[in-house]
Chain A
């Protein structure tokens, strides 16, 4: 399908034309929020609720 632009640069350019800035920002936002919540939040309720998960994943915590 995409042999002409089959390079990393081509793919980046193509993504730029396919997605609107809003979509990109939304995607990055969701990923950042989920990643931060799972790995780094130290608030006691959140932390204690995810305690077993963080130990099972080997993420550094408390």
Chain B
């Protein structure tokens, strides 16, 4: 049974991953490359680097390489990034919607299809939302105040804390909604999210400097947030559809009830 759930999760993840891969290929790749060029160019000018004339000439000719010289060519970066985008969807689908949905299904608030969306929201908060409170998405070419060795464990810690807070919120809702009704239980379930403010207040300053125009920087951050929201939405919708179909084939009365309500809701 767990294997069925994970298979379904991987399928949904593949669909969502392909959608996200398309976004990376069509939007993120050219935009990040452009911002990289732009940022490095501005940096060079700002610091009055003696190689300025040199790099400017370089940029006019071939725009593929920056002056720091990435270890791989732009074509490899583009290709690997798209594949990574697909794998990212598969990973989230397998972990959150495969194993996560299997173990947590009885405890997730909602019925039928809506459970998928609740889980997707929790997944977004854990994997992206909580870490972004400490390390907001950054446009390329920024100088971070903290070294990567400090940021990575903090990032991983925020993912775990985010997942913990979501589980806690689910537990609070599950305990209260029978006695107090949905609205009160829902409001009470919001309180655990306050815990996320503790690490945000305690975390060291993560000041960044970059030389991109603020419009471009805002646009890039918006793209990142929108991309992840899109990924989770596609994941939830696809998983809900596959799950509904599988339970319909199995045809138990409880599941049939859920299918009816889901179909009328559509």
Contact = CB atoms under 8 A, between A and B. Distances in A.
Interface of A: 1-3, 6-8, 10-12, 14-15, 18-19, 27, 31, 34-35, 38-40, 42, 44-45, 47-62
B105 interface: yes
Nearest to A45: B71
Best-surrounded residue of B2, B82, B148, B223 (most CB of chain A within 10 A):
B2
A25 B32 CA distance: 37
A52 B77 contact: yes
Q: How large is the interface on B (under 10, 10 to 19, 20 to 34, 35 or more residues)?
A: 35 or more
B28 A60 contact: no
Contacts of B6: 27
A52 B72 contact: no
Contacts of B76: 49
A58 B77 contact: no
Pairs A-B, 4 closest by C-beta atoms: A58-B137, A56-B28, A53-B81, A52-B81
Contacts of B238: none
B156 A40 contact: yes
A15 B103 contact: yes
A48 B151 contact: no
Contact of B81 (A12, A35, A42, A51): A51
Contact of B29 (A12, A52, A54, A57): A52
15 contacts: A3-B252, A7-B106, A8-B107, A18-B1, A19-B2, A27-B6, A44-B71, A49-B81, A52-B28, A52-B81, A53-B28, A56-B23, A57-B224, A57-B227, A60-B155
Contacts of A49: 71-72, 76-77, 80-81
B80 A50 contact: yes
Nearest to A34: B91
A56 B227 contact: yes
A44 B68 CA distance: 12
Nearest to B27: A56
A57 B77 contact: no
A57 B131 CA distance: 12
Nearest to B154: A60
Interface of B: 1-3, 6, 23-24, 28-29, 32-33, 70-72, 76-78, 80-82, 84-85, 87-88, 91, 94-95, 99, 102-107, 128, 131-132, 135, 137-140, 144, 148, 151-152, 155-156, 220-221, 223-225, 227-228, 250, 252, 254-255
Contacts of A54: 84
Contacts, number: 129
Given A15-B103, A58-B128, A31 B95 contact: yes
A60 B28 CA distance: 16
A40 to B, nearest CB: 5
Contact of A51 (B70, B99, B103): B70
Nearest to A5: B106
Nearest to A62: B148
Nearest to B174: A8
Contacts of A61: 148
B88 A8 contact: no
